[in-house]
Structure 1
Amino acid sequence: MELRHLEYFLTLSKELHFTKAAEKLGITQPTLSHQIKMLEKEIGYALFNRVGKKVELTRVGEIVQQEALNIQDSLQSMSSQITALSKIEIGEIKIAVLPGEITDLVSTLCIQFNQLYPNIKVIIETTDQVEKAVLQQNADFGIDFQLTSNDLLQVTKLYDEEFYLISNKENEQPNISFSTALESPLILFPSVHQCRKLLNKTSTEIGKPLEPIVETSSIQSILNLVRSGVGCSIVSRTLYEFYGTQDLFFQHIDKPSINRAVYLVMKKNCFINYAAREYIKLLVREVEKLNFKTEKEAIDSLHSAVL
């Protein structure tokens, strides 16, 4: 049974006249008669009594009419709900992020997002299993670093970022080797943070221990300790750019350089609601404004597919 058959049936059951119903539907009277006969054949019973030009519903026709009206109402309700999700500035958005600085990035953007859309609730889920949260639809989208190949996910590289050694003193050299940076008194995130995991991995690769003098989960504490001269820190450009660091100085780390990619993760062929699209727009605008190393083709693809 096709939806158009129900549309034809409901129109005829309202008009109770083949010619008038056909005109309203924009089809010929013979076509309408043929479609109604096909529907009756599929159901197995006559839906209309035809006495000359007069048409009336049979008892079975009355049952079909009521159920067809229920289906029509359900379709209209579904359409209305989708319209509300896609256009109206209400509702909520769920974002899955890794523990650490990406949580800080998302939380910082929430301030701007709330000013623009005060009626949209933002829920940030901090998890080591971002992909799983997205696949199980516990999040509208996620932000991740390292990804596994999965045909069910749509993954877009947002940007590549580097790491800086930051201090409260200006340095003559714009760059510093990672090995030399490790000789500074360091204030770092704990080992559970993604940034710290990358630093630990790199220090192991060069065979030099990473021994911070202070560990704290608070980026504000790290920045304040650096300001006071307690030590230096190694932070991602994301954190450096999104916090008030104009009074601090940075050096690019090289030999080896430390870089990582930041990805936007969504489930393929999944409806992206209005709130999620607007948040992603804000995120992309911030990334472009800060001149992060982006792949134009990836961002253009994101714009055409989602934004």
Structure 2
Amino acid sequence: MTSGSSFEPCPLCVMPDIFAIRRIALRKGLILIELRHLKYFLMVSKELHFTKAAEKLGISQPTLSHQIKLLEQELGAPLFNRIGKKIELTKVGEIVQAEALNIQGSIQNISSQIEAFTKVKIGELKVAVLPGEMTDLISTLCIQFNQLYPDIKVFVQSTDQVEKAVLENQADFGIGFHSSQNGLMQVIKLYNEEFYLISNRKHGSESISFSALLDKPLVLFPRIHQCRKILDKTSDGMGKQIEPIVETSSIESILNLVRSGIGCSIVSRTLFDFYDTEDLFFQRIENPYLNRNVYLTMKKNAFVNFATRSFIKLFVREIEKLKFNIGKDSIAALNNLL
């Protein structure tokens, strides 16, 4: 349900069974009003005839009269003037009628919005994701998602503050590389990915040591990129410094520069598998082995709407197609979530 939508309360002739929840009551000061009493009252105020109202409600006339009396006792004022067989609303009855219609409209609005969130394929979805290949992966999935659910608007926020975006309700869920220690957050590890050294020529060995790749001409992301931060931290721990010949935040530019032979690059498996890299070759990095976890993050006990469930399922299917290994614990956690 978009924020610009509005709700028109139903007229008196429309009496949906929204008051069937008998044990929910509304308090206003010292007044306790059961919703079923409002349902009965609205039907009588429409028909202005107890017998006809009772027939439409499917209860006996004495039962209806008793329930209206209970409501009048709670309010401390009569709701109807009884003139022979005819009745009319009192001034208090007119006030109660107006407010009862407002309550009816509010409950219907709540019901409509919950149905839209849980069942109906409309509304909006906000996703927070770290910049780089994960943003590109999520954004590309939006094309497929839009084909399946054209009435759901998707907003992808590329940010280094994924957890903050989720906590502040700027996003329904987030995809990032850090496991939150915040007790308000629910975090599910999706998969673990390794890093590759990629080049335009095939090498004899399947792996290369981290120290050896530092001597190669490198085309890398800028220092603010999450992938680059991992590389810089690793090299700093070895007392060395990475000095790339080219820095660019464009994934396509990195791949094209590697194709042209300008240099090699260090990329995540997500990037290598997701993009058209069949003409490129990779070596696994070891000593130390470079890898990172990918996490799904959302607020603990948050309501998971239809759009969120559907997009996460689509995302999980995509990473399964890329043959990432999702652990049994993660699958169980996702099943409980979805």
Normalising by the smaller structure, the TM-score range is 0.7 to 0.9
Residue identity in the other structure for 1:109: L
What is the aligned counterpart of 2:253 among 221, 226, 230?
221
Distance 1:62 1:187 in 2: 76
1:101–1:193 Cα contact (<8 Å) kept: no
Deviations 1:59-106 (CA, angstroms, capped at 9, x unpaired) = 212221122112212222332234344444444322212222222222
Task: Using the TM superposition, give the Cα deviation of residue 234 of structure 1 relative to its aligned residue in structure 2, in angstroms.
Answer: 0.9
What is the aligned counterpart of 1:44 among 76, 81, 92?
76
2:128–2:171 Cα contact (<8 Å) kept: yes
1:165 maps onto 2:165 in alignment: no
Deviations 1:257-295 (CA, angstroms, capped at 9, x unpaired) = 112111112223444443333222211110122221212
Distance 2:68 2:238 in 1: 78
Deviations 1:141-190 (CA, angstroms, capped at 9, x unpaired) = 21121143223322222221111111112223222222222222211100
What is the aligned counterpart of 1:72 among 86, 104, 111?
104
TM-score normalised by structure 2 residue count: 0.80
Q: Kindly tell me the number of residue pairs found equivalent between the two proteins.
A: 306
SS of equivalent to 2:335: helix
1:1-307 maps to which residues of 2 (within 5 A)?
1-16=33-48, 21=53, 24-25=56-57, 32-49=64-81, 56-306=88-338
Q: What is the aligned-residue RMSD (CA, Å)?
A: 2.6
1:90–1:179 Cα change, 3 Å: same
Distance 1:11 1:301 in 2: 47
1:108–1:242 Cα contact (<8 Å) kept: no
Distance 1:289 1:42 in 2: 63
SS of equivalent to 1:246: coil
SS of equivalent to 1:40: helix
Distance 1:9 1:142 in 2: 48
TM-score normalised by structure 1 residue count: 0.87
Gaps of 5+ in 2: 1-32
Task: Using the TM superposition, give the Cα deviation of residue 192 of structure 1 relative to its aligned residue in structure 2, in angstroms.
Answer: 0.4
More displaced stretch, 296-305 vs 280-289: 296-305
More displaced stretch, 112-121 vs 187-196: 112-121
More displaced stretch, 152-161 vs 263-272: 263-272
SS of equivalent to 2:272: helix
Distance 1:36 1:278 in 2: 46
Distance 2:141 2:120 in 1: 21
Distance 2:44 2:259 in 1: 79
More displaced stretch, 6-15 vs 205-214: 6-15
SS of equivalent to 1:124: strand
Distance 2:285 2:69 in 1: 77
Distance 2:151 2:49 in 1: 49
Distance 1:151 1:26 in 2: 50
Distance 2:108 2:62 in 1: 29
Task: Using the TM superposition, give the Cα deviation of residue 304 of structure 1 relative to its aligned residue in structure 2, in angstroms.
Answer: 3.6
Distance 2:111 2:95 in 1: 25
Task: Using the TM superposition, give the Cα deviation of residue 131 of structure 1 relative to its aligned residue in structure 2, in angstroms.
Answer: 1.4
